[in-house]
A and B are shown apart, each in its own frame.
Chain A
Amino acid sequence: DAGVIQSPRHEVTEMGQEVTLRCKLISGHNSLFWYRQTMMRGLELLIYFNNNVPIDDSGMPEDRFSAKMPNASFSTLKIQPSEPRDSAVYFCASSLRPGQAYTGELFFGEGSRLTVL
């Protein structure tokens, strides 16, 4: 089975540009998590969804960040406008919800490394 698929793997952009990161969940999973990893702050949860509905977006830094799940298998994380401090590796992870052979495990993609100049 294919794992969580993220694109692009690397993105270099200039300050002020719009950035869109994409994530495809593992088939059958219904929870989706976006994490950001930096040297200074480690792994931070930005937002997560259950069955396409955002449950906790308290980690989203500010209004420049938005995330959507247009369908059960796909999500986007958008930054508009981007700033140099947004440079980080962004991970997407998926899991099953509790009650459905739940294991608690998150399955991570390989990440999208964003550099904002």
Chain B
Amino acid sequence: AQSVTQPDIHITVSEGASLELRCNYSYGATPYLFWYVQSPGQGLQLLLKYFSGDTLVQGIKGFEAEFKRSQSSFNLRKPSVHWSDAAEYFCAVGAANFGNEKLTFGTGTRLTIIP
């Protein structure tokens, strides 16, 4: 069974500082990996995804993530956060096989930005 662990429930970062959100997954084969962002009262919006190829993937809003198979990790990074980045961030893993297209989500990391 696939699973995702986001060890940090809540992170506070100063505006302009760098950010790294951790994500570890468990899956028997090569996974499809995703980061989504959720603003209060909104649905989930895709930030970026990894299927194959280059292990460093770029997403929207200046975010990037690196797939490290040896560590079963897919950490999200941003060099300089903006106040508008305050939200909840979810890592997800999928198998993308027929009959198993579902995504399994982590418990999320809430990001607070201080001036």
Contacts and interface: CB of A to CB of B under 8 A. Distances in A.
A104 B44 contact: no
Interface string A90-117: 0101010111001111111111000000
Interface residues of B, number: 26
A20 B107 CA distance: 26
Given A56-B102, A111-B43, A104 B32 contact: yes
B51 interface: yes
Given A42-B108, A103-B49, A97 B43 contact: no
B101 A91 contact: no
Given A42-B108, A111-B43, A104 B94 contact: yes
Nearest to A92: B43
Contacts of A73: none
Interface in B93-115: 94, 96-108
B42 interface: yes
B34 interface: yes
Contact of A42 (B42, B49, B51, B107): B107
Given A97-B101, A110-B42, 17 more contacts: A31-B101, A33-B102, A35-B105, A43-B108, A45-B103, A50-B101, A55-B99, A56-B99, A99-B98, A104-B34, A104-B49, A104-B51, A104-B96, A105-B34, A105-B49, A108-B44, A111-B43
29 contacts: A31-B101, A35-B105, A42-B105, A42-B106, A42-B107, A48-B102, A50-B99, A50-B101, A55-B99, A55-B101, A56-B99, A97-B101, A98-B97, A103-B49, A104-B32, A104-B34, A104-B49, A104-B96, A104-B103, A105-B34, A105-B46, A106-B103, A107-B46, A108-B36, A108-B44, A108-B45, A110-B41, A110-B42, A111-B42
The 10 closest A-B pairs by CB, nearest first: A108-B43, A43-B105, A104-B32, A108-B44, A42-B107, A110-B43, A104-B96, A104-B94, A45-B102, A105-B46
